[in-house]
Structure 1
């Protein structure tokens, strides 16, 4: 007996809101706001009012602005507190250490913009010019954009729903005068929500070179990384590799290493093997990393002899090799 399977239209994951019901048809579907699954959904009226649905007018502007950016790298984590923004900052500092390279960081962790503080430029503000918003420069070849520069106080809470977040991300991509960049590193919030979907949607035509996933050794963090890898596979983002942060503790005095977060299920190494992704490296926990972030200085420059600095630089070399830049 031959089973006959009816054709079912599977919605593009990029068109499904993060708070959508289980059988959401997607915002681009003709059934958006009309399907049985839409009943009671908070987005129902918005989806119904979006007709007719056409291409986003921001996409050509983003494509033009991003045409001068050579590499675009996402830094992702499934869980907060694993050191994603700190790693992003060190990656930016390391690229910018080469005076021949021009590097940028775009901070789309809109509700928790920590990049300005980590880079020591939290007191700076964004200025407008005839060519768009001017990013803040941590140094001559290191441009940064974050909502943190737009707040009247560092204590201000950002209470935005998805559409306003998406609008700001669009502006960061199309209205910021990034100029000619060798690397644009995009720091994202934890998870796989509005901000991630927006970045992928807006850069769909411009292209994303890949994602670096950050985790810690505990299984509770690794579980979320598995979901992050699944997200990348579903939306077509290349996973450049996995970084295990806080992988042991290095004493600044005696340089001995101790396990603080025990890898009970094999840590990032076992996860990389199971999921078929590259393990870029493991960064030991050095308390001076947090101190450098609080002070807004480059850990790599301040403590070049730390085992953590060696690990960072090895990881960055691997990323360049994978991208074909070395």
Structure 2
């Protein structure tokens, strides 16, 4: 019977690639302990991203591989998650309890950005993370509706300074809609909007969040620049459809985040294909492969590709987005994949992130 040592166990682990980190556990620095007691082996891995629905299957795969070694009678693989804070997040008042901020953005409206943000927040929560969502779409806030929060609900005030976020479906939610009348349009100039956003960000009493998802307004204007300059965003997710016009605007969004030194975690392609509910015929109503082309052009990841589905719209409008309403459905599983990819991309970006630059705007 062959003797087993740490090197042989690591050699086995190196044969398996974490599908979200795109590295084997050893190279990714996930191995915390390898203990060998005669013919028994125990391994402790630590992930830096939320992956509760993935961990058991991943542990079982690695356990079976280790038990295939000569000289190993039994093996156990324990996987834990420790989500570390973004480097600069603690420097901002009001964000001391938030570890990572994820901006969900789009170059234009109508591409499903807010729906993606809501489902991403819920999917991250299902993966075991503590999550909040900030509705920064000042002109058209919709997260209150998507999370089923009754019209007219107002946040409580703490110590005459802090807004207490409203909890729905296990997510902490804050929105300008909670502070205004739903029927009153926000007729504000840029500086007023930027000031309102900063107040929401810095005066909300978030509770120990692993991830704060920010639903950005569409475009590349004042709010996006304010966020980039004042808030330590760990990464941005760009939402688009395959349509050529949407892709043109999405490219501007990618370029903007790059210029202000915020990592683009990847692209989400919405409305990629429509499948007829009667005959099952698949048709690419808005074009085909646009999200993948955009991701390839900018060297980022296509995080998810979602169909044009009436169910997604109905569930979001009904206050229970798909990731919660039908958590075992195929579409919900796509959102879970998205959540794990987003968390893993943040881990990978942390080692290469640079400090936030000062932003100046010139006319040339």
TM-score when normalising by structure 1 = 0.74
Listed as ranges, the matches of 1:107-256 within 5 Å are: 107-123=135-151, 124-130=153-159, 132-139=162-169, 141-152=170-181, 154-203=182-231, 207-252=232-277
- Cα deviation, 1:176-203, whole Å, max 9, x if unaligned, reads 1112111000111110111111111211
SS at 2:93 equivalent: helix
SS at 2:100 equivalent: strand
* Match of residue 85, structure 1, among 110, 114, 118: 114
CA distance, structure 2, for counterparts of residue 157 and residue 108 of structure 1? 15
* Match of residue 103, structure 2, among 71, 74, 78: 74
- Cα deviation, 1:188-245, whole Å, max 9, x if unaligned, reads 1110111111111211xxx211000000001100001111111011101100000100
Larger radius of gyration: 2
CA distance, structure 2, for counterparts of residue 208 and residue 119 of structure 1? 23
Q: Which residue of 2 aligns with 1:286?
A: 309
Task: Give yes or no for contact 2:120–2:338 (8 Å, CA) kept in 1.
Answer: no
Alpha-carbon distance change, 222 to 104 in structure 1, aligned in 2, over 3 angstroms: same
Alpha-carbon distance change, 253 to 129 in structure 1, aligned in 2, over 3 angstroms: farther
Structure 2, unaligned runs of 5 or more? 1-87, 349-364
Alpha-carbon distance change, 276 to 102 in structure 1, aligned in 2, over 3 angstroms: same
CA distance, structure 2, for counterparts of residue 217 and residue 173 of structure 1? 32
Shift of the alpha carbon at 1:61? 9.9
Shift of the alpha carbon at 1:165? 0.9
CA distance, structure 2, for counterparts of residue 216 and residue 279 of structure 1? 12
CA distance, structure 1, for counterparts of residue 285 and residue 168 of structure 2? 33
- Cα deviation, 1:143-187, whole Å, max 9, x if unaligned, reads 1111111123x2211101112111111111221111211100011
Is 1:313 the counterpart of 2:342? The answer is: no
Alpha-carbon distance change, 60 to 185 in structure 1, aligned in 2, over 3 angstroms: closer
Q: Which residue of 1 aligns with 2:4?
A: none
Shift of the alpha carbon at 1:301? 2.9
Which structure features the higher share of strand residues?
Answer: 2
Q: Which residue of 2 aligns with 1:33?
A: none
Task: Give yes or no for contact 2:89–2:99 (8 Å, CA) kept in 1.
Answer: no
Shift of the alpha carbon at 1:249? 1.3
Alpha-carbon distance change, 214 to 208 in structure 1, aligned in 2, over 3 angstroms: same
Shift of the alpha carbon at 1:277? 1.5
- Cα deviation, 1:41-96, whole Å, max 9, x if unaligned, reads xxxxxxxxxxxxxxxxxx99971321221110000100100000000000111122
Listed as ranges, the matches of 1:251-266 within 5 Å are: 251-252=276-277, 257-263=282-288, 266=289
Structure 1, unaligned runs of 5 or more? 1-58
